[in-house]
């Protein structure tokens, strides 16, 4: 069964570590964007009924709830098995949450990143741990119990002790799903670019070292695992039954359609990518050009292995290639009958392992 991804790239601020095509845009562009997005969804020839819907971005929680409800209205399949909305802590009100819920939203994923004041302030985020706690309570009161939070390991000023504080909050709030990402350092975020340039801005001199970041990740694996929220994918942890059904589709190579700027789609054979920025997306619509700008044929076997190995459950392989055998010998992969999976050490070196597949 297939999924739907909807991109809402608008945020209250641009966070220093963020490398997405999201941020603060003029109100007029936002209005045009929703118009084009509604048109893209309405024009879609639904060949299958979606089972999951995911609103990501960006901060879809900032969007007027009636606009979101209108977008959901245009999609078949309600009630979806899972309909997720990414939310910035502090954006929620009871009225908003009721509109979301009545429109079919049954899961909320918070971009928390940290529960520690100093770390949040440095990144430009406005919330506090108490904001997150209040939002979680509100959701539960309105009947949405499937809640996730994102954390980042590697933020400026973060230490193993302060990361522990964030994990304490996760435990205290009894959250059934957590994503833990290691800080990505690339040119696409202000912090990443500063780090690459060896500069001092955005607290870059206070970014913890690689070993400390790995220790934070390992601590998350141990702590969350011990409290009944085991890792089911490299960066994702869930109480059994609370795994993200939508994201599992990506890792199981199931089809999905993407709407909005920078959204990707996969029909089982081809991958398509929409115009990257909100402005380009709107201007292509105004010029009556296709909204997608790139289409590639998928290499199913290579991709099945690449994404399947991200899962703790592993992936079935009929035969080991020489490269895979080498990783088994080196203790990065383990084989269990026909199932191949990353070892704990392999998870930490997964980028290296995956690179080999891509360049092989
Ligand atoms: S981290 Fe989230 S809230 Fe911050 S700019 Fe990126 S998408 Fe927006």
**Is 229 in the same domain as 323?**
no
Judgement on whether residues 113 and 237 belong to the same structural domain of the protein: yes
Residue 193 lies in a domain: yes
Please give the tally of structural domains in the chain.
2
Do 247 and 304 lie in one domain? The reply is no
Atom of ligand 1 at shortest range from CA of 88: 3
Kindly report the CA angle at 182 between 194 and 12, in degrees rounded to 5?
65
| DSSP letter for each residue of 62-89 | GS-HHHHHHHHHTSS-SSPSEEEEEE-T
Determine the distance separating the centroid of ligand 1 and the alpha carbon of 325, expressed in angstroms: 40
Residues 86 and 18 in one domain: yes
Residue 224 and residue 80 in one domain: yes
Does residue 59 line the site of ligand 1, with CB under 6 A? Answer: yes
Whether 8 lines ligand 1, by a CB cut-off of 6 Å, is no
Coil, helix or strand at residue 38: helix
CA 294 to mean position of chain CA atoms: 21
- Residue 85, CA distances (Å) to 53, 68, 107, 232 in order: 9, 10, 6, 21
Atom of ligand 1 nearest to the CA of 20: 6
CA dist., res. 200 & res. 76, Å (int): 50
Looking at the structure, tell me whether residues 87 and 144 fall in a common domain: yes
Domain range spanning residue 145?
Answer: 3-251
Are 84 and 169 in a shared domain?
yes
Q: How far is the CA of 125 from the centre of ligand 1 (A)?
A: 9
Res. 351: pLDDT tops 90: no
The answer to whether residue 275 sits within a structural domain is: no
Strands 256-259 and 231-233: unpaired
In angstroms, the Cα distances linking 316 to 27, 256, 302, 341, 355 are 48, 22, 12, 9, 20
Instruction: Answer yes or no: do 61 and 166 share one domain.
Output: yes
How far is C-alpha 276 from the chain's CA centre? 17
**Checking DSSP bridges between strand 177-182 and strand 3-8, what pairing results, if any?**
unpaired
Residue 210 lies in a domain: yes
Residues 20, 116 within the same domain: yes
Neighbours of 241 (CB within 10 A): 7
Residue 285 has pLDDT above 70, yes or no: yes
Q: pTM score > 0.85 for this model?
A: yes
102 shares a domain with 224:
yes
Assess if residue 272 is contained within a domain: no
Average pLDDT over residues 32-36: 98
Residues 54 and 186 in one domain: yes
11 CA: nearest ligand 1 atom: 8
pLDDT above 80 (res 357): no
Closest CA to 255 of 57, 6, 49, 42: 49
Q: Assess if residue 281 is contained within a domain.
A: no
In the reported structure, the alpha carbon of residue 345 is separated from the centroid of ligand 1 by a whole-number distance in angstroms of 30
Residues 236-267: pLDDT tens digits?
999 999 999 999 999 999 999 999 999 999 99
């Amino acid at each position: 069964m297939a999924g739907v991804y909807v991109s809402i790239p608008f945020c209250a601020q641009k966070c220093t570590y963020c490398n997405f095509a999201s941020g603060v845009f003029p109100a007029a562009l936002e209005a045009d964007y929703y118009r084009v997005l509604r048109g893209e969804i309405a024009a879609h020839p639904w060949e299958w009924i979606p089972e999951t819907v995911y609103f990501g971005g960006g901060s879809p929680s900032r969007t007027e709830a009636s606009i979101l409800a209108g977008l959901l209205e245009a999609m078949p399949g309600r009630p979806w098995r899972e309909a997720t909305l990414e939310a910035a802590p502090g954006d929620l009100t009871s009225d908003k949450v009721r509109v979301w819920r009545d429109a079919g939203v049954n899961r909320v994923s918070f971009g928390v990143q940290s529960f520690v004041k100093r770390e949040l302030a440095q990144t430009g985020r406005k919330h506090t741990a108490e904001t997150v706690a209040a939002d979680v309570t509100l959701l539960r009161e309105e009947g949405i119990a499937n809640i996730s939070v994102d954390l980042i390991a590697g933020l400026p000023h973060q230490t193993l002790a302060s990361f522990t504080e964030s994990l304490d909050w996760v435990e205290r709030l009894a959250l059934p799903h957590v994503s833990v990402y290691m800080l990505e350092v690339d040119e696409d975020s202000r912090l990443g670019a500063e780090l690459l340039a060896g500069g001092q801005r955005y607290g870059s001199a206070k970014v913890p070292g690689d070993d400390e970041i790995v220790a934070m990740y390992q601590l998350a694996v141990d702590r969350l695992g011990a409290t009944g929220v085991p890792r089911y994918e490299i960066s994702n942890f869930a109480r059994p039954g609370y795994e993200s059904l939508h994201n599992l589709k990506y890792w199981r190579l199931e089809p999905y359609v993407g709407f909005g700027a920078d959204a990707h789609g996969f029909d089982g054979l081809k991958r398509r990518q929409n115009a990257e920025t909100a402005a380009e997306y709107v201007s292509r619509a105004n010029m009556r050009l296709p909204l997608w700008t790139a289409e590639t044929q998928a290499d199913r076997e290579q991709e099945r292995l690449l994404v399947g190995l991200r899962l703790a459950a592993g992936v079935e392989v009929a035969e080991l290639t020489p490269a895979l055998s080498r990783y088994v010998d080196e203790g990065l992969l383990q084989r269990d009958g026909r199932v191949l999976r990353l070892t704990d050490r392999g998870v930490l070196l997964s980028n290296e392992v995956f690179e080999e597949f891509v360049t092989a």
